Structure 1
């Protein structure tokens, strides 16, 4: 009897998801670096305005005419907050996919992967809020000539969705752990 979890379609989907994690991670890092390099060069184009982080746009900030390299590094450092949580989430997803590809769906590796994925998503929600506050503070402070500024804290549907999805992954890790326990019991009787 064939196992649906070993079917070619399941294996292809697991491999595709595994590969997409690399693409998402590289795209996230690439865009973050490009954002702060682009903001450092200044300009008045519409493209330059698109580089401005969404939180800063919502606070009504305009792109700075230019940024010196220490401030570019500070901005990139702030950007690393949600990127670190994204990296944890993507590495956890890769671990889950590796277990699935190996045919070990109800394994300790998959259980740990779902648990870490949930933690990563919840951390991403929190760090996204902190990033928004930090980036608006930095850019408004620089725009004021380093004499003042504002801190905008926002919690929107993106962050709430991440929290819910993170909790769902934590719940799924408990379901997977129960599946692992039942599988072990079944194998003990055989």
Structure 2
């Protein structure tokens, strides 16, 4: 058994509570990502069908960017424009699922006993990049969804573009930078440990 394996075997991070936490994070991240994307798709099936919903449109299905801009969803929407809306949802969803995939790799590495290995360092780098990508794609999504809904609501005779930085965007930016910093710290710690092992 290698020295790194020996250190890991007795480490508190391999305790049952740690493993439950890793499994919980793994399950929660995929569940939240899947539920968020499903809700995003559902809104484009609901928008334009107010009469079919009894004249009531669930607030949660209206894009938050449209609500903040004071936009009213169009009374009707042709199927091709619904697919455009789905395509818009896929922009931030791609960044979100990339981030969740990186979290998945980190958790799997933890569960395998690799706490400070290359996979974990690369995973935190990926999470940082993913959150920064979520920040950028959120801005792109704002522009796209407000332009589309305002254009359709005006009868395709005009529209508007709304762009703003709210708590979500600020949070993703801060967390992304923190994850990149953490990745650099872990990489440096791993390098120093490798140097120490070389002298043993």
TM-score over 0.5 for the alignment? yes
Unaligned runs of 5+ in 1: none
TM-score scaled to structure 2, two decimals? 0.89
8 Å Cα contact 2:128-2:179 kept in structure 1: yes
Secondary structure at the residue paired with 1:75?
helix
2:41 equivalent to 1:33: yes
Give per-residue Cα distances to partners, 1:87-120, cap 9 Å, x unaligned: 1110010011111111111111001100010001
* Preserved contact between residue 39 and residue 61 of structure 2 (Cα < 8 Å): no
Match of 1:13 in 2: 21
Q: Which residue of 2 aligns with 1:62?
A: 72
Q: Rg bigger for which structure?
A: 2
Matched, 1:162 2:177: no
Equivalent position to 1:45, from 56, 65, 69: 56
Retained in 2: the 8 A contact 1:42–1:64?
no
Residue 180 of structure 1: aligned partner: 190
Does structure 2 retain, via aligned residues, the 8 Å contact 1:129–1:153?
Answer: yes
Q: Which runs of 5+ in 2 are unaligned?
A: 1-6
Q: SS at 2:47's partner residue?
A: helix
8 Å Cα contact 1:79/1:131 also seen in 2: yes
- Paired residue for 1:107, among 103, 117, 132? 117
Q: CA RMSD in A?
A: 1.4
Shift of residue 19, structure 1, vs aligned partner: 1.3
**TM-score by structure 1 length?**
0.94
SS at match of 2:70: coil
Residue 146 of structure 2: aligned partner: 136
Report how far residue 150 of structure 1 moved: 0.4
How many residue pairs are counted as aligned between the two chains? 189
